[in-house]
Amino acid sequence: MSTHSFDAALHLTPDFDAQPDQFVGHTHPDWWNMVGPFGGMTAAIALHAVMSHPSRLGDPAAVTVNYASALADGPFKAVARPVRTNRSTQHWVLEMRQADAHGVETVVLTGTAMTAVRRETWSATDMPMPDVPHPDAVPRPSLRTGAVKWLQRYDMRPVHGSIPAKWDGSAASEDPLRASLTQLWVRDDPARPLDFESLMAMADIFFPRIWLRRSTMVPVGTVSLTVYFHGGKEQLAASGDGYLLGQARGQAFRNGFFDHTAQLWNEAGVLLATTHQLVYYKE
Amino acid sequence: MSTHSFDAALHLTPDFDAQPDQFVGHTHPDWWNMVGPFGGMTAAIALHAVMSHPSRLGDPAAVTVNYASALADGPFKAVARPVRTNRSTQHWVLEMRQADAHGVETVVLTGTAMTAVRRETWSATDMPMPDVPHPDAVPRPSLRTGAVKWLQRYDMRPVHGSIPAKWDGSAASEDPLRASLTQLWVRDDPARPLDFESLMAMADIFFPRIWLRRSTMVPVGTVSLTVYFHGGKEQLAASGDGYLLGQARGQAFRNGFFDHTAQLWNEAGVLLATTHQLVYYKE
């Protein structure tokens, strides 16, 4: 059994006797963010429930999770319920719950997933990997992560749009198309062969666009995350434990929410996933 | 009461005595696509269940729907269940069901929504409206729509990347960033003041990117659609019944699925919604 911290955090135990399609798990201290676990890890756990389900047909194609609240440190229930199985696709409803201080279970995550048996077809990419230096040529900055443990779980090498060095409220780039653009190489630390769950987690690797945009650390929280998987098992296996290039750009920031659109390529330039998220911000 | 075809198709009747959070509706012939209703209309109905629910808090911020199958002509049930209500946000689980030929109910749509009370904050747009001619200066092509009735429900004025005139399998543009790019003006026909439901529907206005990319009409079907609403009631009201500019671009086409990322601005250039979808294709 893997002793990698990602696998430890992902660990789920079937609890089908208590409720069909239900698993139980426990938050892991290695993946702590500011007020709960790293959202990418939580999303990966929700997907892991699908991957672990005995009725699963095919591999993930589309996954959406919505964060109803931060998870508290402790046990949780993860439900992945197959509600419709077609010939080559399957639709899932996802839910995570935790007991509150009064012992009452509340929903902490909602979501949906679509898995599919993929067949070889005509293929193309209209979002080519940007021309960036090889990860070996990009220094890995040392991060003072403090209590934000999950940042130590990734080897991140920013190519463009790294986290502001000074939180001075200075204006971002004049060019709106680059003002909230980040490009970075990323892989698990220690390295770990890519799978759907770790790709799901890395889809949430980008620090909040609004921090880049404003050089101001306003309070934020992702509320909805969607990942489309363009890589199947073969492409993921071919990616091995190499770096992924992630690129994210904000689109609209208005009245408490902003979105970003993002892509993840492997080192060979294969677009493995596209992802979007909506993020709450204060002020 | 409005006699607009969009409102007629949207019509839902609460059926809370039969099941909490459940509405009943009926498909409308005006909105027929090839093998079921226009997916944008179905998504709008799912959102309308949220908008019609007596417990709703705030306005739509993020909505995801997954199409498990085409709807059959006939009645359907639409469920919008509020599963978590916070101080200013609310999380919803969406489902639509129809009885099959044997009278057994099957799930035809899954989804989630997040509604929120929006407050004025710092705002910006990093995805400015492209510089395109005013809708009055763009001719409206006459469409031979045949049985595809829903195309008559919109006044569409393509600015760039219109549906191929010849289905000759010719290669798309050499520039990947423009190969599957479409820009068009669109509004309801007859005109109708914009609301969240009609904006949701218009997020699905784009013909399949793969048709543009390959000049080949391969069978397709949207499997998942996400819309982030950046415009609140004020921005929607200010848009009135004017045109929206829609822009969509494919990202990856691989092994039976492609995605696109898209934006919708009002005539004044306000980014009202960003949207993404994953589409099944054959061959």
Predicted confidence at residue A176, as pLDDT, reads 77
Mean pLDDT confidence for A107-117: 98
- Is B122 inside a domain boundary? no
The reply to whether A83 and A196 lie within a common domain is no
| Tens-place pLDDT, residues B6-44 | 999 999 999 999 999 999 999 999 999 988 999 999 999
The answer to whether residues B161 and B93 belong to one domain is no
Q: Which of residues 14-33 of B touch A (CB under 8 A)?
A: none
pLDDT of residue A271: 98
pLDDT bin (cut points 50, 70, 90) of residue A100 is confident
Say if B146 falls within a structural domain.
Answer: yes
**A259 DSSP β-pair partners:** A278
Please report the DSSP string for A25-47 in residue order. EE--GGGB-SSSB-HHHHHHHHH
Instruction: Determine the Cα–Cα distance for residues A66 and B112; give it in Å rounded to an integer.
Output: 8
Backbone angles phi, psi at B212, to 5 degrees: -65, -40
**Are B197 and B73 in a shared domain?**
no
Flag whether residue A107 sits within 8 Å of chain B, measured between CB atoms.
Answer: yes
| Together in a domain, A74 and A109 | yes
Domain that holds residue A275: 140-281
Give yes or no for A57 touching B (CB within 8 A): no
User: In this complex, is the C-beta atom of A129 within 8 Å of any C-beta atom belonging to chain B?
Assistant: no
Q: What is Dmax (Cα atoms) for chain B?
A: 58
Query: In the prediction, which pLDDT does A1 show?
Result: 62
Q: Give chain A positions within 8 Å (CB) of B278.
A: 61-62, 114, 228
Domain boundary among B116, B132, B154: B116
Tokens of A102: 């009064």
Per-residue pLDDT tens digits for A228-278: 999 999 999 999 999 999 999 999 999 999 999 999 999 999 999 999 999
Q: Specify if A132 maps to a domain.
A: no
Residue A182, chain B, CB below 8 Å: the answer is no
Residue A133 lies in a domain: no
Q: Let me know if residue B189 belongs to a domain.
A: yes
CB B204 within 8 A of CB B225: yes
Please state the domain count of chain B: 2
Residues of B in contact with A250 (CB under 8 A): 126
Residues 6+ apart with CB under 8 A from A222: A39, A67, A204, A277, A278, A279, A280
Residue-level pLDDT at A283? 87
Do A182 and A249 lie in a common domain?
yes
**Where a domain ends, among A116, A151, A184?**
A116
In this prediction, residue B100 carries a pLDDT of 83
- Amino acid (1-letter code) at residue A136: D
Question: What pLDDT does A144 receive?
Answer: 77
The predicted pLDDT at position A147 comes to: 81
- Indicate the DSSP class of residue B39: H
Length of chain A: 283
Distance from CA of A223 to the nearest CA of B (A): 8
pLDDT of residue B172: 65
Closest CA to A108 of A95, A94, A89, A126: A95
Domain closes at, from A116, A132, A163:
A116
Q: Which pTM does this prediction carry? A: 0.97
Nearest residue to A268 (alpha-carbon basis) of A128, A62, A118: A128
Q: How many residues does chain B have?
A: 283
Say yes or no: B184 and B101 in one domain. Answer: no
Which pairs count as long-range contacts for B20-25, CB under 8 Å and 24+ apart, including other chains? Answer: B20/B81, B21/B53, B21/B79, B21/B80, B21/B81, B21/B82, B22/B77, B22/B78, B22/B79, B23/B49, B23/B52, B23/B77, B23/B78, B23/B79, B23/B80, B24/B75, B24/B76, B24/B77, B24/B78, B25/B75, B25/B76, B25/B77, B25/B78
DSSP E strands: which ranges in B126-243? 154-160, 181-188, 220-229
Mean pLDDT of A189-203: 98
Global ipTM: 0.97
In a shared domain, residues A107 and A164: no
Distance CA A96, CA A106 (A): 9
Q: What letter represents residue A18's amino acid?
A: A
The mean pLDDT of A49-63, rounded to a whole number, is 98
Cα→Cα distances A198→A6, A43, B58, B245, B249, Å: 8, 10, 34, 37, 27
Query: In this complex, is the C-beta atom of B177 within 8 Å of any C-beta atom belonging to chain A?
Result: yes
Does A166 touch chain B if contact means CB atoms closer than 8 Å? no
Of the ranges A171-180, B168-177, B270-279, the best mean pLDDT one: B270-279
User: Do B276 and B148 fall within a single domain?
Assistant: yes
Average pLDDT over chain B, rounded to whole?
Answer: 95
Q: Looking at residues B72-79, what average pLDDT do you find? A: 97
Q: For residue B126, is it within any domain?
A: no
Percent of chain A with pLDDT over 90: 88
Stated as kind and residue range, the H or E segment containing B26 is strand B22-26
What pLDDT does residue B42 have? 98
Per-residue pLDDT tens digits for A136-161: 999 999 887 788 999 999 999 999 99
Residues A192, A86 share a domain: no
Q: Are residues B169 and B269 in the same domain?
A: yes
Q: Is the pLDDT of residue A40 over 80?
A: yes
Higher pLDDT, residue B142 or B133: B133
pLDDT score for A161? 94
Chain B residues whose CB is inside 8 A of the A116 CB are 223, 256-257, 280
Q: Any CB–CB contact under 8 A between B274 and chain A?
A: yes
Asked if B179's CB is within 8 angstroms of A116's CB, the reply is: no
CB nearest to A251's CB, from B95, B126, B256: B126
Please give the distance of CA A96 from its chain centroid, rounded to a whole number.
16
Is A134 inside any structural domain? no
Chain A, 243 to 272: residues with Cβ < 8 Å from chain B are 249-257, 259, 261, 263, 271
Assess whether B24 and B147 both reside in one domain.
no
Helices (H), A11-155: 39-52
Assigned domain for B134 exists = no
Does B119 touch chain A if contact means CB atoms closer than 8 Å? yes
Instruction: Give the separation between CA B109 and CA B98, rounded to whole angstroms.
Output: 10
Q: In the prediction, which pLDDT does B101 show? A: 82
Report the residue of chain B nearest A123, measured CA to CA: B254
Task: Note whether A176 contacts B68, CB cutoff 8 Å.
Answer: no
CB-based contact B66:B224 (threshold 8 Å): yes
Do A172 and A209 fall within a single domain?
Answer: yes
CATH assignment at residue B148: 2.40.160.210
Neighbours of A177 (CB within 10 A): 11
Q: Compute the average pLDDT of residues A91-97.
A: 98
Per-residue confidence (pLDDT) for residue B233, from 0 to 100: 95
Judging by DSSP bridges, how do beta strands B89-99 and B75-85 pair with one another?
A: antiparallel
